[in-house]
């Protein structure tokens, strides 16, 4: 900054330099070095034309050296805005938390102090001393403020602080004092901060199995008046102390610049709280300021245990593998009683052929028993030699069970129909009795579907094979045409065998009517029983 004698210089005061408040605001809680130099009379506007620089003076901005040289203030879990509502404190009292200090070592002693005041007169001080053990190092320390110490000064206040005496020191012992924080024993007058959030969490019970590396908790964006050297404490509180953990971190420039605070909860804390509830909150503090967030309540489900399901009627032929004879009644899949599904929804997957052989259900017929309809059976039929196994499993909260690999063996061949014709009598067809429009061919089963598992859209092929003067010949009556809605509704297939084809066949020789259907979109075909007749004049 440049100033001149016209700016208010006097021999008594010297040269005044006015610093903009906006600059001081940006430097708040920091420090500066300041100095001056006398400019050249020959070039008063040239900042480089100046004499030697004076000695520099160090100055704190917005805080005192006494505070800087002391340890940070303690936190009180049950407080907000440096206030405790005594009516909300249970008989177990309040929890004080001391952040870990850099020189923390086994054998140190830390003494927490609660100095209450009633009617502006000091009460007997409450002190609690802790000897540092190996498990305390680099961890926040917790102390209990007895209920009587709080309720006894309701409406007044207390000063909280602590003292650290270092191990291995010869007399007189070296020690450090913390900054002091005033806690008013009145209901807080401001709203809580927004609750902390869980990274990549969309709601519902938390399944520990989905978080093998633990949880990341976020304060994002950070609280409004964040400053370097603030201490932020996270409380993960389960149903008992053994299931709870407290973490603390110091705000550094990276946190201020990124506007994000992250805490990590190890997976063992999820497992410890399985089938239970956890309350999570954070608070920050520095001398003269302390704020607490709304609690976040999380439901932790039991670790899922999802053994393979069973298929009723299946015969095991290996671990989690078996065969099952196809049935037009469908089947049932049962989730074992030993499965641990927590409060999740069970979704059974019959993961067969993608064309007509898959089925998903979330509705049990009873208990853990789920029905698989006949419509999802036929596309999966396979001989043992073909070995077309497919997985049957269930899913809970996005996690799949162990698979049961199933092979569905086909129905007996005699379960399928043959092609009939009104023009066949006594295993003979009289060519002369067939009208010029051709012989009527029919596939049906009285009172039932035309064939087992019949469905609209299945590909049906019908053929006639016989002997002509040139040798064996096959005529495609119907070539892999889908079953129509009307055919399925009528449970009957009708086609015409052209008389012109019959006229190419040798008389007194046998011919066959054949049919086959595909349940899986044309990948495989199931053959119907042949009808054989002798063609006569």
CATH for 138: 2.60.40
List the CATH number of the domain containing 253: 2.60.40.10
Domain residue limits at 126 = 75-184
Task: Looking at the structure, tell me whether residues 424 and 513 fall in a common domain.
Answer: yes
What is the per-residue pLDDT for 446?
82
Q: Looking at the domain assignment, is residue 68 inside a domain?
A: no
Contact assessment for residue 451 and residue 413, using Cβ atoms and an 8 Å cutoff: no
Measured CA distances, 88 to 84, 185, 186, 188 (Å): 8, 11, 10, 11
Q: Which residue has the tokens 């007044």?
A: 156
Task: Looking at the structure, tell me whether residues 424 and 471 fall in a common domain.
Answer: yes
Question: Can you list the pairs that 209-212 forms with residues at least 24 positions away whose Cβ atoms lie under 8 Å?
Answer: 209/303, 209/304, 209/399, 210/397, 210/398, 210/399, 211/267, 211/270, 212/267
Q: Looking at the domain assignment, is residue 189 inside a domain?
A: no
Task: Looking at the structure, tell me whether residues 404 and 421 fall in a common domain.
Answer: no
Task: Looking at the structure, tell me whether residues 176 and 83 fall in a common domain.
Answer: yes
Domain count for the chain, please give it.
5
Task: Looking at the structure, tell me whether residues 513 and 472 fall in a common domain.
Answer: yes
Task: Looking at the structure, tell me whether residues 79 and 154 fall in a common domain.
Answer: yes
Q: What is the pTM of this model?
A: 0.61
Q: Looking at the domain assignment, is residue 69 inside a domain?
A: no
Q: Looking at the domain assignment, is residue 305 inside a domain?
A: no
What is the per-residue pLDDT for 68?
54
Q: Which residues contact 357 (CB under 8 A, 6 or more apart)?
A: 350, 376, 377, 378, 379, 380, 390, 519, 520
Question: What is the rounded CA–CA span in Å between residue 89 and residue 395?
Answer: 44
Residue 9 preceded by cis peptide, ω within 30: no
Q: Looking at the domain assignment, is residue 169 inside a domain?
A: yes
In 395-508, alpha helices (H) = 485-490, 499-502
What is the per-residue pLDDT for 65?
53
Task: Looking at the structure, tell me whether residues 525 and 421 fall in a common domain.
Answer: yes
Among 257, 279, 300, give the residue marking a domain's end.
Answer: 300
Among 393, 410, 427, give the residue marking a domain's end.
Answer: 410
Q: Which parts of the chain register pLDDT below 70?
A: 12-13, 58, 63-68
Q: Looking at the domain assignment, is residue 314 inside a domain?
A: yes
Q: Looking at the domain assignment, is residue 191 inside a domain?
A: no
Contact assessment for residue 208 and residue 278, using Cβ atoms and an 8 Å cutoff: no
Q: Looking at the domain assignment, is residue 93 inside a domain?
A: yes
Q: How many CB atoms lie within 10 A of CB 221?
A: 12
114-159: pLDDT as tens digits? 999 999 899 999 999 999 999 999 999 999 999 999 999 999 999 9
């Amino acid at each position: 900054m440049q100033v001149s004698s016209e700016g208010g210089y006097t021999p008594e005061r010297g040269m005044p330099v006015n610093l903009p408040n906006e600059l001081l605001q940006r430097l708040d809680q920091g420090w500066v070095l300041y100095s001056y130099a006398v400019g050249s009379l020959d070039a008063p506007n040239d900042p480089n034309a100046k004499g030697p620089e004076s000695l520099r003076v160090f100055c704190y901005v917005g805080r005192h050296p006494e505070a800087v040289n002391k340890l940070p203030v303690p936190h009180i879990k049950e407080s907000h805005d440096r206030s405790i509502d005594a009516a909300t404190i249970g008989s177990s009292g309040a929890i004080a938390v001391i952040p870990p200090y850099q020189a923390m070592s086994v054998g140190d002693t830390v003494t927490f102090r609660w100095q209450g005041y009633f009617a502006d007169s000091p009460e007997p001080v409450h002190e609690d001393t802790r000897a540092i053990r190996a498990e305390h190092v680099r961890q926040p320390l917790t102390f209990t403020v007895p209920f009587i110490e709080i309720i006894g000064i309701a409406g007044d206040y207390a000063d909280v602080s602590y003292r650290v005496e270092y191990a291995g020191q010869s007399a007189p012992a070296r020690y450090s004092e913390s900054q002091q924080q005033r806690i008013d024993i009145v209901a807080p007058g401001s709203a809580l901060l927004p609750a902390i959030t869980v990274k990549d969490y969309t709601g519902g019970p938390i399944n520990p199995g989905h978080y093998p590396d633990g949880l990341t908790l976020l304060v994002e964006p950070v609280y409004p008046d964040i400053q370097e050297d603030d201490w932020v404490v996270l409380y993960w509180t389960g149903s008992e102390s053994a299931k709870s953990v407290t973490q603390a971190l110091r705000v550094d420039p990276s946190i201020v610049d990124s506007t994000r605070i992250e805490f990590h909860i190890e997976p063992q804390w999820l497992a410890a709280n399985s089938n239970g509830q956890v309350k999570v909150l954070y608070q920050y503090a520095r001398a003269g300021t302390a704020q607490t967030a709304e609690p976040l309540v999380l439901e932790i489900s039991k670790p899922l245990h999802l053994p393979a399901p069973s298929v009723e009627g299946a015969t095991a032929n290996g671990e989690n593998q078996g065969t099952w004879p196809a049935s037009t009644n469908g089947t049932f899949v049962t989730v074992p009683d030993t499965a641990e599904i927590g409060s999740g929804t069970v979704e059974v997957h019959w993961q067969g052929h993608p064309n007509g052989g898959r089925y998903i259900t979330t509705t049990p017929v009873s208990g853990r028993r789920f029905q698989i309809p006949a419509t999802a059976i036929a596309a999966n039929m396979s001989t043992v030699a073909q070995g077309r196994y497919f997985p049957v499993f269930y899913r809970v909260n996005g996690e799949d069970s162990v698979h049961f690999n199933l092979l569905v063996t086909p129905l007996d061949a005699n379960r399928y129909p043959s092609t009939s014709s009104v023009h066949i009598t006594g295993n003979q067809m009289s060519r002369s009795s067939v009208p010029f429009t051709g012989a009527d061919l029919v596939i049906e089963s009285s009172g039932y579907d035309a064939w087992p598992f019949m469905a609209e859209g299945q590909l049906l092929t019908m053929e006639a094979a016989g002997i002509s003067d040139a040798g064996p010949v096959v005529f495609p009556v119907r070539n892999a045409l889908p079953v129509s809605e009307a055919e399925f509704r009528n449970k009957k297939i009708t086609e015409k065998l052209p008389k012109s084809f019959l006229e190419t066949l040798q008389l007194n020789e046998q011919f066959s009517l054949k049919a086959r259907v595909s349940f899986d979109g044309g990948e495989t075909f199931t053959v119907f029983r042949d009808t054989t007749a002798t063609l006569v004049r």
